Amino acid sequence: MFYPGFRTFDIQTSDPQCKIHGVVGGSGPPVLLIHGNPLTHVHWHIVGLRLAERFTVVATDLRGYGDSGKPRGLPDHSNYTFRRMAQDQVDVMADLGFKEFMVAGHDRGARTAFRMALDHPDKVQKFASFDILPTHHVLTNISREWALKSFHWFFMAQPYDIPEKLIEGKEDYYIVQKLTKMGIGKGGFSKETLAEYARVCTPENIHGVCEDYRAAATLDFEMDKADFEAGRKIKCPAAIFWGDQSHTEKFFDPLKAWPQYCENVVRIRPLPCGHYPAEQVPDEVTQELLAFFGS
């Protein structure tokens, strides 16, 4: 429905507990597209179809999201770190025959791609980020205003199973409020995509999301802090985009922040949208990625 002409797959990762669901189509150099919370690979469908005219496009569901595996979180949350999520995606690309590839990520997908570019510099050729600041930067530059708008970072990170129980039975209410009213820079979704995101918003998905945020506040932060203090940066060409109506614009300074984490930022600019560029301004996103990945 969303990716006509693409092939659907469910690929076993190096974690026996998790398969990754996704689609692949087009021809040319490989590009991996990774979604954020609380979305799925469907988030990229407009942009992905257009990129497939020049690239082989792979769009996946992160573990814990969509139709990918949703293993129970380990006590230390290590099976939901961005390092583990990045390894999932590297496993998928290897299974599809791609030893090297370009990647674009939004929200949690951008954090996954960020860690992937650090952990697998031999595989990630180019890195594009949409509407995030690095986790380390966010958690060391928190303001009261940002925290009020982004309270889910801390709500979802509470110990098991407090947030899970509070959302249980209210998944439909949660997903609509999350995507259309909570925070800033919301909206821009079609009825079809909203219905798809509601379909996969299950108790198992909510647990996966909570484990994602628990890992981010603990293990992921410590990994990023160690890399930052060691001066370790992403070396491949990077393109950084964010919505001029989003929290990234209103509460941070991406132009100053990102060069602290990437050695080679070749494109960096806001887009005329909120937090969901690929669905709110797909034309601009497509143009930027064609220019970046095609150069």
Q: What are 205-236's pLDDT values in tens digits?
A: 999 999 999 999 999 999 999 999 999 999 99
User: Catalytic residue at 275?
Assistant: yes
User: Catalytic residue at 107?
Assistant: yes
Catalytic residue chosen out of the listed positions 107, 131, 212, 227: 107
Whole-number pLDDT of residue 45: 98
Mean pLDDT, rounded, for 14-21? 98
Average pLDDT, the chain: 97
Mean pLDDT, rounded, for 128-152? 96
Mean pLDDT, rounded, for 245-261? 97
Parallel/antiparallel/unpaired status of strands 56-60 and 19-26 = antiparallel
Whole-number pLDDT of residue 295: 86
12 forms beta bridges with 19
d(CA 272, CA 21): 31
Nearest to residue 82, comparing CAs of 214, 235, 201, 276?
214
Mean pLDDT, rounded, for 122-130? 98
Range from 68-82, 102-116, 165-179, 276-290 carrying the lowest mean pLDDT: 165-179
Residue 27's alpha-carbon distances to 11, 30, 49, 51, 94, in angstroms, are: 20, 8, 11, 9, 17
Count of helix runs (H) and strand runs (E) in the chain? 15, 8
Nearest to residue 161, comparing CAs of 199, 216, 202, 203?
203
Is the pLDDT assigned to residue 181 strictly greater than 90?
Answer: no
Catalytic residue chosen out of the listed positions 35, 45, 137, 275: 275
Is the pLDDT assigned to residue 182 strictly greater than 80?
Answer: no
- DSSP secondary-structure letter at 276? -
d(CA 188, CA 70): 27
266: Cβ contacts below 8 Å, ≥ 6 apart: 237, 238, 239, 292
